[in-house]
Chain A
Amino acid sequence: MSKKNRVAIVGVGYSDVGRATGLSLTKLTAQAGVAAMEDAGLKPTDIDGLVTHSFPNQFVSSTHTAAMLGIPDLAFYSGNVDGAAYSVAAMHAIAAIESGSAETVLTFRTVHKAGQGGETFRGGGGPQTIPGNMQLAMPYGSIAGPHWAGMYMTRHMAMYGSTEEDFGSFAIAQRKFAVANPTESFFHEELTMDDYLNSRYIAKPLHLLDCDYPVDSSSALIFTTEERARDMKQKPVFFDSWANGTTKEADFSLVEDMTHSSPWMASRRMWSRSDLKPKDVQTAGLYDGFSFIAMQWLEALGFAEEGGSGAFVRSGATSATGSLPTNTDGGACNVGRRHGANFFIEVTRQLRGTAGDRALPNNPKVGVVSNAVGGFAACALLTAD
């Protein structure tokens, strides 16, 4: 891939994060946006692009956000599109900058804890009628993410002989990083395999400890051209290559091959656009809405053998001193649900050397990030000079 006109991450920021912050979606978004601009050393007048992808029914428009943050004029904006969690915003920003549609783009992912699907059905009342294709799933009790996630895990176990302990190994390895991240993590005790296996099932074989931790949060990142990035406050982190991938079935439960879903399509495309190889990657931020998702990415990206993600994790490869330190902030299972934005932020911090106490001993210059699974996915290779 040509190294001309690369897009860089130049600012990152979080809102306050918590289980019950009492903060509105707009206030969370404003907090993250201000934090990212401060991190980058930029003013609202420096921003000419804005992407606010939010959870369904948790939409903060880009024009509202621009007005709130005093951004006077947008050359490019994009709102509530569907796709692979936070990466949708990142990919829109990159495409806008690569095309020349905008120069400096502020992106968001804002998530309210209360917005998770399950809680919306608890109100009681009379008969509930289900429109659209959801009527072909909900009457079966297939309602929430853990149901398709549990089915992906069962399929992996049937195809490869993987075990619950394999999935547990990832939760345990990830928690070690969380313990090393006391300011952002909600969990401060290491996990044992017994802790994992004894955590209650949500959708067997999926345990509670396979699930990310719902919080109120907003995450923001600022992207700009390589040329502009060179003059900014932070050391820039560049996109070497990035890619989306989808399956031909929209419904996550009905994809053709649950052990080779969209991460495989996105991974192949990403590697095809880069001179880098899996062995060059020194840290990873892999989406962990459910732990198996990160493990599917380890296989799809070529770090672990097909079906071998459990053995790979148990080998210590994803630990701080392993060949691929993975989810070094503790992942969304521990720092709370950021819909994948935390991985872009954490890998950026590691590559530019602002990870503080948890700076990796291998001083990484190449990292990979990923979002989502099933029907749609995205991944990117990030580099620092």
Chain B
Amino acid sequence: MTTEVSAPLPLPNELTKPFWEGAAKGQLVIQRCNACGHLQHAPEPVCSACLSFDLGSAAVSGTGTVYTFCIATQAFHPYFEDKLPFVIAVVELDDQPGLKMITNIVDVDPDSVRVGDRVGVTFNLLGEGFMLPVFRPIA
């Protein structure tokens, strides 16, 4: 018997909701402190730069640099078994030094990815209407 295996889906909360709602609209949305402008990811209840609780979110440029990556060759979850090999990466976004996110690098031969590659955001359907912000090489 074959059954469709579902993706591990996010359970959005107050903090992550803007990220997922932005993605559904084709935007990369990151938590932004209304008091000092600091961008932070993952989102938290307080700004780690100024300790303000007045937090909002902002659509960011969607461009960045590959800080590091690995090529997943074992799935650890059945959903990913037919997607191997794929690239898991940390991308440093252009909008603020050190602002990083975990993502995938797509539309590329995994073995050709290098640290320092320039990448831009794109969106893949994850399932149940969720869009996943992922990155692909840009010039």
CB distance from B47 to the nearest CB of A (A): 13
Residue from the list A121, A203, A204 in contact with B77, Cβ < 8 A: A121
Which residues of chain A come closer than 8 Å to B67, judged between CB atoms? 155, 258
Which of A36-44, A94-102, A235-243, A248-256 contacts its partner? Answer: A248-256
Instruction: Report yes or no: A254 in contact with B102, Cβ–Cβ below 8 A.
Output: yes
Interface presence of B103 (CB below 8 A): yes
Residue from the list B73, B80, B130 in contact with A200, Cβ < 8 A: B73
CB distance from A201 to the nearest CB of B (A): 4
Which residues of chain A come closer than 8 Å to B78, judged between CB atoms? 121-122, 124
Instruction: Report yes or no: B73 in contact with A139, Cβ–Cβ below 8 A.
Output: no
Interface residues of A in 300-314 (CB under 8 A from B): none
Interface presence of B34 (CB below 8 A): no
Interface presence of A1 (CB below 8 A): no
Instruction: Report yes or no: A139 in contact with B5, Cβ–Cβ below 8 A.
Output: no
Interface residues of A in 106-130 (CB under 8 A from B): 117-118, 121-122, 124, 126-130
Known: A140-B104, A141-B104, A144-B76. A150 touches B10 (CB 8 A): no
Interface string of A134-161 (1 = CB under 8 A from B): 0111111111101101111111001000
Interface presence of B115 (CB below 8 A): yes
Which residues of chain B come closer than 8 Å to A258, judged between CB atoms? 67-68
Known: A151-B68, A154-B69, A253-B102. A129 touches B11 (CB 8 A): yes
Interface presence of A345 (CB below 8 A): no
Q: Number of B residues whose C-beta is below 8 Å from A?
A: 51
Expressed in whole angstroms, the Cα–Cα distance for A122 and B83 within the complex equals: 16
Interface residues of B in 74-114 (CB under 8 A from A): 74-78, 80, 83, 85-86, 88-90, 98, 100-104, 110, 114
Instruction: Report yes or no: B42 in contact with A139, Cβ–Cβ below 8 A.
Output: no
Which residues of chain A come closer than 8 Å to B3, judged between CB atoms? 124
Interface presence of B138 (CB below 8 A): no
Q: State the A residues within 8 Å of B (CB).
A: 117-118, 121-122, 124, 126-133, 135-144, 146-147, 149-155, 158, 200-206, 248, 251, 253-254, 256, 258
